[in-house]
Amino acid sequence: MNTRSKATAVLLSSFILASALSACSSNNNNGESASPSPSESSASPSASAPASESASASPSESPAGIDTSKHVTLQFYMLGGEPKDLSVIEKKINEMAEAELNATVKFNFTTWTNWDQKYKLLLSSGQDVDLIFTADWTQYQSYAKSGAFLPLEDLLPKAAPKLQEFVPQDMWDAVKIDGHIYTVPATYKEYVNNGFVYREDLRKKYNLPVPKDIASFEEYLDGIKKNEPGIQPLSMNADVKGNMMDVFREVNDDTVGGPLPYGIGIKYNSPNDVYSYWGSEEQINDLKVIQRWQEKGFFAKNVLNVQDTLQDPITTGKAAAILGDNPTRYNDTKMKMQSTHPDWELGYTPFAETRGFATPVHPIHNGFAVPKSSKNAERALAFYEKMVTDKRYNQLTQYGIEGTHYTVEDGYYKMVGDATSNGFPREGMQGWAWRNPEFMLFDKSYDGVKAIFDQLDKVAKPDLFTGFAEDYSSYQAERAALEQVEKQYFYPLYAGLVKNVEEGVQTAMDKAKKAGLEKVQEAYKTQWLAYTSEKGIQ
């Protein structure tokens, strides 16, 4: 689900990122940063300084350019659920922040239930928010273009000069919207393309096929259903658009970048051919497969009420597979699963084996912005600088307390206890955006992720499209109406709950057209073609 002067800088940055990934076999900073690469840290454990040093690391200097005389409380918003020991971590962070910035912070989480609606409300209600996660899949580009965030280029030199220097200039350029910087991009480079996740031990036990495409994945699910009646073959939850439909489309074709809105279809290899996926034979055929999976009992009939993450049922043995997940999260799931069930195995097959290509992340993929409603923009950036560049803040919020939540053995991260007893697992705050390659700790199993990245490097293509920023100001009402139509009429189709797919699609399309679908799709197409023309993308 990516970070999106705006012209050739974005395109050149995409090529630079792809080249860097191909050259280094994993995620690393480009030559403009002095930080060692994560691949070096994991390949040579000694390259990662032991976490014990973080306790003795000298405090970074307080920013000299801002007024810290008045105490403030910063509201920091992250997506997903909060770890059990969040209050312990927050207390320790605030002990440092109060002494160094005369500020305390409240870490807030949306949960994964209807996170998109909650996110929209946070940015539209004028609520007190000082820092908020951004990504291509949270529509950073559109929110930035509509004025939801404060521009940062004038604030950074004053409030966070070390952070400004730390992020390579090509990344700052890549996240610009209409010439302005609205988010602080993560410098950790990775692939977040999806792949099939499945219980490899069960696959071996019942001699099932390795999932490599939809047909072999369905055969695997059939085998689980037949041989393991107590296990749900497929882990799925209420986000059937993001976790079922969007991922299903990624397996089957060469769609560009992240999920496209309003039922639009665009292929990577023919980016100027913009069509309506909604209502097409392509969509109907996809939905019939999903309906068949529902009828076979691969996932719950009440899926639209299921609020679990996709990963939890895998780690607890309640489900056997995920339709798609990225390599890093697959590794985290495997690590948690094997902490309680070391005899279980988890397998992974990148979609690139079927699609024929993968794209490294764009800088827009993970970031943090200061909403326009913030009353403490300078202090917020100064605090975020510490989250990224100060080892004490960074490792505490990424891994917890050394000795309590993790240990470092031979340079590798090791969880204390297991996934059920540990109160702050690795990256327990979903802190993807403030990863610092210099401070990152990897579980030994991350070597397997490196191997996947090596594999994807061989078929890498640059992300040419994430820099596109939609301006929906002229069709905001129709856009909102289409969101409601999708949830009411398309979601049941995505969940396989509509018996007659053709009739269901026709009904949904009728409602969508009345809501303004054709106007919205045409306006989006016009903007898209202007973007590809500007960038010289054929």
> Please, are residues 320 and 224 in contact by the beta-carbon 8 Å criterion?
yes
Neighbouring C-beta atoms of residue 253, cutoff 10 Å: 16
Q: Kindly state the tokens that stand for 120.
A: 């929209």
> Please, are residues 253 and 214 in contact by the beta-carbon 8 Å criterion?
no
By CB neighbour count within 10 A (0-12 exposed, 13-18 middle, 19+ buried), where does 52 fall? Answer: exposed
How large a percentage of the chain has pLDDT more than 90? Answer: 80
- pLDDT of 62: 55
When mean pLDDT is compared across 17-21, 143-147, 325-329, 503-507, the lowest value belongs to 17-21
Angle at 500 between CA 498 and CA 501, to 5 degrees: 75
- pLDDT of 12: 35
Alpha carbon distances (Å) from 456 to 10, 17, 199, 415, 462:
22, 14, 22, 28, 12
- pLDDT of 63: 60
> Which top CATH class is 8-50+72-190+364-390+429-454?
alpha beta
Rounded Cα distance between 342 and 403, Å, is 22
Q: Dihedrals φ, ψ of 414, to 5°?
A: -140, 125
- pLDDT of 538: 85
Domain ranges of the chain: 8-50+72-190+364-390+429-454
> Please, are residues 100 and 392 in contact by the beta-carbon 8 Å criterion?
no
Q: Kindly state the tokens that stand for 122.
A: 């946070």
Binning pLDDT at 50, 70 and 90, where does residue 89 land?
Answer: very high
What mean pLDDT is reported for the chain? 88
**How do residues 174-232 score in pLDDT, each as one tens digit?**
999 999 999 999 999 899 999 999 999 999 999 999 999 999 999 999 999 999 999 99
- pLDDT of 255: 82
Rounded Cα distance between 200 and 429, Å, is 28
When mean pLDDT is compared across 78-92, 444-458, 492-506, the lowest value belongs to 444-458
Q: Dihedrals φ, ψ of 336, to 5°?
A: -70, -40
**How do residues 509-538 score in pLDDT, each as one tens digit?**
999 999 999 999 999 999 999 999 999 998
For residues 26-30, average pLDDT: 31
pLDDT of 249 > 70? The answer is yes
When mean pLDDT is compared across 70-74, 124-128, 312-316, the lowest value belongs to 124-128
**How do residues 464-487 score in pLDDT, each as one tens digit?**
898 899 999 999 999 999 999 999
| DSSP string over 182-246 | -SEE-----B---EEEEEHHHHHHTTPPPP-SHHHHHHHHHHHHHH-TTSBSS---S-HIIIIIH
SS3 of 22, please? helix
Under DSSP, the state recorded for 417 is: S
Alpha carbon distances (Å) from 514 to 263, 511, 520:
15, 5, 11
pLDDT of 51 > 90? The answer is no
Q: Which residues, other chains included, contact 378 with Cβ-Cβ below 8 Å and sequence gap of 6+?
A: 63, 66, 67, 155, 158, 159
Rounded Cα distance between 114 and 79, Å, is 10
**How do residues 139-188 score in pLDDT, each as one tens digit?**
999 999 999 999 999 999 999 999 999 999 999 999 999 999 999 999 99
**How do residues 259-301 score in pLDDT, each as one tens digit?**
899 999 999 999 999 999 999 999 999 999 999 999 999 999 9
pLDDT of 339 > 70? The answer is yes
Rounded Cα distance between 406 and 86, Å, is 15
Q: Which residues, other chains included, contact 173 with Cβ-Cβ below 8 Å and sequence gap of 6+?
A: 5, 9, 10, 13
When mean pLDDT is compared across 63-67, 125-129, 399-403, the lowest value belongs to 63-67
